[in-house]
Structure 1
């Protein structure tokens, strides 16, 4: 990797990559600052464009878009009390209350700087940890990968929310979708309904666009004409006072960075869960917990530091094992495969220049976040006044064109629409979408590694734990499920009404 850094830097500095990276950063700022639109949706909308880009340029665009969108979600949160992305929801009350107190600059300054610091911290962990894990992963056989995938799917249920049962239902929905098509071992058609287009399975990119973008459009449709309009604020010096706050809470910054990166590495988690957990931990150890939710600078530091740290952390399992850490990296895995890059430990040996360029892109994205973010905050009033009735149809058209353009297949529009309606129905009933996404992404691997291990072991289940690493992963998976079941039992007991 070190020897490949000069070539990686040269790839990143290609004129096309630089221009696309800047455009992607601005696009991420725009999408993130629009209430209701998520960083995942921004990346999903990038996929059709990335089809025409080389791998490094496409990955750079994803990194820039994600980093900027996560921060930009703080802008409408501070000015309108409407989080631009789910990751900003954890601390929106604190940011908005600081604005009502006449300190919008301080609120946005803390969010901006802590996001940049968190992103750099997560990137450092990604650079140091991913290659080391890759060396270990080279020793894995099918059974180790089976348990690793099982552990990833289990973690998705564990972090799905307060109701793990609904998380498990979501996971099963995703696994069922993954079985549509030909059997991985016999090639026999399954659940295709007679549609020849489904013999190769549910197309990944149209499914992702549908489950994120179309579901988001359907969710916001009833309130599209009543969307709140931004109240133009006078924004002074953004960074004034931010340094003093960070010097007052250095432990919170480090703790938020660590929690964000660790949660990001967990499959199926992501920046929004990282922000909530970091915020809750910060409140638990705060000397002034009553101020949280009422304009707490400490709360902003805790959660803001976790946001972008989780982004880089999520790339660790995606690159090393091909297991997405969040919904963005689920799309990235599809993008890597589309570009001929196979996620897994060999990617560091076979494509060191591209991976090195990716690491450098993370560093650049978080370094330029502050100057670009300062400009974005200045222009926030104009960005936020784009009429939603105008924006929504444009997004819908772009989704349709992008889904169709991947394979020039009209059936992709059907997949996009069906998956969008499915995701909307799931969320309307409190069923999280993230486990289903993970099930779709990993279902094929889960089945393949299960079947190959069964054949190697002549049908013996004991063979699945016959190697030390496999046994350890199996034990960890069992502990995770035990924790899920015990947690469900405890919640059920608390909800029991005394007779």
Structure 2
């Protein structure tokens, strides 16, 4: 009963733009005060997994990601909806989310201790290379002009520097405003560049082609077996990559979805389809975000180190219940641990029937005229922005970035690199500065540790590849002359 109730709650929260899986988990904390440890954690596990999938529903139907992790493949899901294949997009997201969550749960239950040992070997040097590698993937998700893609990424990097420098404590780009000292929160920015920008675009153009009456949500599972079989490599990549990134403390489902989507496009036989309705991109990223949710529990349970914001809340709840996460939890509370493992599997299995119901309920959205729906969505966007930190400033940030997002769309500047820059730049900067302080300014220290050296060797050739390609083109031209 707890799992079913929290599943419905998670689906509702995740389907509203701006109300994230982390928020769904946090809102359940007061409810779990009088529960035993297993149902308390099961409620949070279920709500977060369901919210991750539910974020794909407005993403596909309205081009408004319900959660930050859904932003990686919003354009593909919405492109399929405009082609009358909304049911295909949503069912791919549903099934791959369930598969990714179950895969991560199996890895969690079987390989938790050894994988957590590897994760603990990550210092600021390894985090720097990992985040830089993730930032490098922006080159793979750029659509159209590379110059416009670079401009988008640069804008994201600029926005991420607003606030106090985490290392030196110096305010940057705050314009003496106390409201900006804490920086710009990701959720209001996401609400702005996707949801509010879409609302502005609708009222600016009043394009009848944007009507959703032609979208179909019938026969949701029809033909899905063939699609999943064709995309089996993308799903496997998303499962593995999402679990690995989830295990690394601080990474999370957002980064897992972006990296998996980008790498799938890099090695795809049809990269031109990405951003225009790629089933492969949906499968890779959809599997990765829920696999990352499960993977984040590996360091949380084994060493008491939160893998993301959700597991940080869960660790706090376990402490309240008298259960101390760490190596001894497997000795002192084995029933609790394996109860949590079973909750993961049950939650992701339950996701399929309840997700199907949620998709069918999407018909009610399709029947409402957009001229009526858009003001309602705008109200939810304002509420979601305000709920991030209970300030009007967050609402202003969402509105401002809505204008910016609309301007970027109108001028063909892609949104994806912009969002990726905001997500990853703070991690790159903080870990770089921390590493430089540790090493006394020596760059050689970035290659002293084995894992850091491997990540560096992988990342640097990718950065150098455009220069090498340019030199080769110049060399071939000179030989022709």
Superposed pair shares fold, TM > 0.5: yes
Pair 1:25 & 2:14 matched: no
**Which residue of 466, 477, 480 maps to 2:462?**
480
The 1:20/1:144 distance shift into structure 2, 3 A limit, reads same
* Corresponding residue number in structure 1 for 2:33: none
SS in 1 for 2:134: helix
**Cα distance, 1:71 vs structure 2:** 7.1
SS in 1 for 2:28: coil
Contact 1:155–1:480 (8 Å) recurs in 2: no
SS in 2 for 1:200: coil
Aligned Cα RMSD in Å? Answer: 5.1
User: 2: distance between equivalents of 1:491 and 1:380?
Assistant: 51
Contact 1:178–1:443 (8 Å) recurs in 2: yes
* Corresponding residue number in structure 2 for 1:287: none
Q: How does 1:201-350 map to 2 (within 5 A)?
A: 201-222=183-204, 226=208, 227-230=210-213, 246=225, 251-252=229-230, 254-261=232-239, 267=255, 269-270=257-258, 273=261, 277=265, 281=269, 306=284, 308-315=286-293, 333=308
Pair 1:183 & 2:165 matched: yes
**Which residue of 75, 79, 87 maps to 1:86?**
75
**Cα distance, 1:476 vs structure 2:** 1.0
User: 2: distance between equivalents of 1:280 and 1:419?
Assistant: 32
* Corresponding residue number in structure 2 for 1:137: 119
* Corresponding residue number in structure 2 for 1:53: 28
User: 2: distance between equivalents of 1:91 and 1:279?
Assistant: 21
Q: Which runs of 5+ in 1 are unaligned?
A: 1-12, 32-40, 78-83, 285-291, 293-298, 323-331, 494-499
Q: How does 1:332-411 map to 2 (within 5 A)?
A: 333=308, 363-375=345-357, 381-411=363-393
User: 2: distance between equivalents of 1:22 and 1:423?
Assistant: 32
**Which residue of 131, 152, 155 maps to 1:173?**
155
Cα deviation, 1:421-470, whole Å, max 9, x if unaligned, reads 22333333333333333332333332222222222222222232222222
Contact 1:182–1:189 (8 Å) recurs in 2: yes
Contact 2:61–2:81 (8 Å) recurs in 1: no
* Corresponding residue number in structure 2 for 1:146: 128
The 1:336/1:399 distance shift into structure 2, 3 A limit, reads farther
Pair 1:417 & 2:399 matched: yes
User: 2: distance between equivalents of 1:217 and 1:113?
Assistant: 26
SS in 2 for 1:368: helix
Q: Which runs of 5+ in 2 are unaligned?
A: 30-39, 64-72, 246-254, 301-306, 317-323, 476-481
Cα deviation, 1:187-206, whole Å, max 9, x if unaligned, reads 22221112122122223433
User: 2: distance between equivalents of 1:121 and 1:135?
Assistant: 22
Contact 2:188–2:385 (8 Å) recurs in 1: yes
Cα deviation, 1:383-420, whole Å, max 9, x if unaligned, reads 42022222221222222223223333222222222223
User: 1: distance between equivalents of 2:329 and 2:385?
Assistant: 28
User: 1: distance between equivalents of 2:132 and 2:299?
Assistant: 12
User: 2: distance between equivalents of 1:350 and 1:306?
Assistant: 35
* Corresponding residue number in structure 2 for 1:5: none
Contact 1:178–1:440 (8 Å) recurs in 2: yes
Contact 1:229–1:384 (8 Å) recurs in 2: yes
Say how many residue pairs are matched: 424
Contact 2:386–2:392 (8 Å) recurs in 1: yes
Pair 1:446 & 2:419 matched: no
Contact 1:70–1:307 (8 Å) recurs in 2: no
User: 1: distance between equivalents of 2:366 and 2:266?
Assistant: 28
User: 2: distance between equivalents of 1:404 and 1:76?
Assistant: 21
User: 2: distance between equivalents of 1:147 and 1:461?
Assistant: 12
User: 1: distance between equivalents of 2:284 and 2:424?
Assistant: 26
Contact 2:409–2:415 (8 Å) recurs in 1: yes
Contact 2:152–2:413 (8 Å) recurs in 1: yes
Contact 2:129–2:455 (8 Å) recurs in 1: yes
**Which residue of 435, 439, 445 maps to 2:417?**
435
